[in-house]
Every structure is written in structure tokens, then in C-alpha cells.
Amino acid sequence: MTNRDTTLDDVARRAGVHPGTVSRVLTRPGRVNEKTAARVQAAVAAVGYRPNLAARQLAGGKTSRVAVIVPDITNPYFAEIVQEVQLGARQRSESVLVADSRQAAPDELSAVESLSPNVDGLIVCSPVAALGTVRDAADGRPIVYVNRRGRNVAAVHVDQGAVVTVAVDHLRSLGHDRIAVVRGPSAFWSAEQRSRLAGKLGVAQLGPVSPTYDGGLALIDEIVDGGFTAVATFNDVTAFGVLGGAAARGIRVPDELSVIGSDNIPFSAMTNPPLTTVDGCARRVGRAALDLLGSLLAGEPPRVVVVDPALVARSSTGIVS
């Protein structure tokens, strides 16, 4: 029997379940318990079943595709989110279309508008365009926003206030009181949240700067002139730039300057010294966004999922000298 000959009934018989259960596992796995879903997936692999996507589209208007729009695909944090969405989609026999908005509202809206007719729903990461215009561009397709809040929208975001608090508390526990928190681009919702918390915590703020290595590199003069002994950035890539600037100036990290990033991308453990960071849980965010999109497609109301960050202490932070 070839995979062209196998049917949903063949999978159901192999797994010992009703064909409707097989269908739910393939389209909405979150609505089936894990043991049953695993048994069905094993049966799918054993019989070589491949869903007829064209027939599914004709029958229900479904494309079995989702879109993910990110502001910068070269940033490993967003790359990890995309990977996790792809992994989850593959388990549901769905495919993923990806677009890079280059942190520009026109590009973001263009991507939403062009992809919407070809997908069942969209995941838009760190959008910079107004949410109303994004919704209009999606032309009725369900949307999940990542790291952005709004009224009556589905969203997954890391608790930005907790990110700042975790970083500042760690630095203060090491004896630092000359702490600067670096702000990201003002167009990002997360930048506003972090700035508000930094103000409440009574620490200085630098920026806004671009979320790039060069953005961090350009900060070193301001850090030195301000007499800061510790800096917390809004992502790891910017922190890499601060480390590079410190090295170029002969500033020893962490003896003379402690640096803490945010995101915990894989490269953060490979810097010299290894970067202390606040884990932004990219894979948890990606999977939660896909699951939330699935619930919207199933007719459930929008909700917000908040992911708690965690400190990853390495060697770029130390006791104040």
C-alpha cells in the first residue's frame, strides 16, 4: 500500500481510534490528549498517510498554512520562534510562510496583506504598525501578536516588566547602584513597557538604540561618560555590541563593567566572557503563539498568554569593584 492508497480510516484502525479523532489530531492537536495524539501520529507514520490538502481546502476553505512575520529574521530570537512554529505546524500537517518586515510598518503591512489570502491565520511578531491597520490588512484572518498587547486581541508576550526587574535585581544583588537600562526603538511596544519599569526602579536609561550589534557598540562612550558600572540591554545582540565596545576601550568585563542582555539566544553562551542574560523563552513563545492561533481558528475568543522570564547568570556580571 502506498501513501496515495491510505486513508484516514486506515490510520484510525491502526491507532484504534475513531476517524474523527485522527482528523482532530492532524488539524487541532491541542484538543486531543497527548497519549492519543502520539498514538495517532505513530499510526500516520506507520501507514505513510499524507492528508489530501487540496481536497481539504476545497471542502472547508482551509489552506493548512500559517504565516509568521518577524521584524528581523537575522536575530536569533525570532529565528527560534519561527523554528518552533514550524515544528508545531509540521506536527499538524501544516506549513509555514515567513516574512521579514525589516522593522518597518509599510513592509509589515505589505507582508500581512500579501500573505493573508494564502493562509488560515497569522502570527505577527513585535509589530510596529498600528494594530488596527494590521487587522485591516489581514482581511478577516485571525491574528496572534507576539510581544505586543492591545484591546481584544490574541497575544503572547514575555512579561517585559519582569525582564527589567530580574536584570536590575541581579545587578543590585552584586552591589551595583550606577545601573543603566538600554531602551530599544520607540516603535516597539516592549520598549515602552521596559522604560516604564526602569523609571519605577529608579535606574538611568540610555537610548533608544537600534536592536543591533552596532547599536550596542555606539553606547560605550555614553556608558563611560555616565560612570555606570552595570548595563542591562533589551536584547542579547545589543549586549554583544556593548561587550565589543568595552573590549575596544580596554574596559574589563565584569571587573569594571557588568553587562546583562535579554533573550538568551544560543550565541550568548559563546561570548567572552559568556553573557549573563534574561531568558526570553523564544521556543515557549513560538509554541504558545501557534496554539493560540489554533484556538482562534477553532472559534474560541482571543486571550493573552504571558510568559515569565528567568535569569541566566554567566560571567559578564560580577560584584562591583
Identify the pLDDT of residue 300.
96
Mean pLDDT check: name the lowest of 59-68, 141-150, 217-226, 308-317: 59-68
CATH number of 160-280: 3.40.50.2300
Let me know: does 120 contact 64? Beta carbons within 8 Å: yes
CATH number of this structure's domain 63-158+282-307:
3.40.50.2300
pLDDT of residue 37: 86
Distance (Å, rounded) from C-alpha 104 to C-alpha 47? 46
Q: Is the pLDDT of residue 258 over 80?
A: yes
In this predicted model, which residue has the larger pLDDT, 5 or 169?
Answer: 169
Looking at the predicted structure, is the pLDDT value of residue 3 above 70?
A: no
In percent, the amount of the chain with pLDDT more than 70 equals 93
Render pLDDT for 91-100 as a digit per residue (tens, 0 to 9): 999 999 999 9
Domain(s) of CATH 3.40.50.2300: residues in the chain: 63-158+282-307, 160-280
- Segment 70-104, tens digit of pLDDT: 999 999 999 999 999 999 999 999 999 999 999 99
What is the mean pLDDT of the segment spanning 44-53? 76
Widest CA span in the chain: 73
User: Tens digit of pLDDT for each residue in 206-222?
Assistant: 999 999 999 999 999 99
How many helices (H) and strands (E) would you count in the chain? 13, 12
pLDDT of 55 reads 53
Average pLDDT over residues 292-320: 97
DSSP E strands, the chain: 65-70, 95-100, 121-125, 143-146, 154-158, 179-182, 204-206, 230-232, 258-263, 276-279, 304-307, 310-312
Q: Name the average pLDDT for the chain.
A: 91
Q: Radius of gyration over alpha carbons of the chain, in Å?
A: 23
Lowest mean pLDDT among 16-20, 132-136, 185-189, 223-227: 16-20
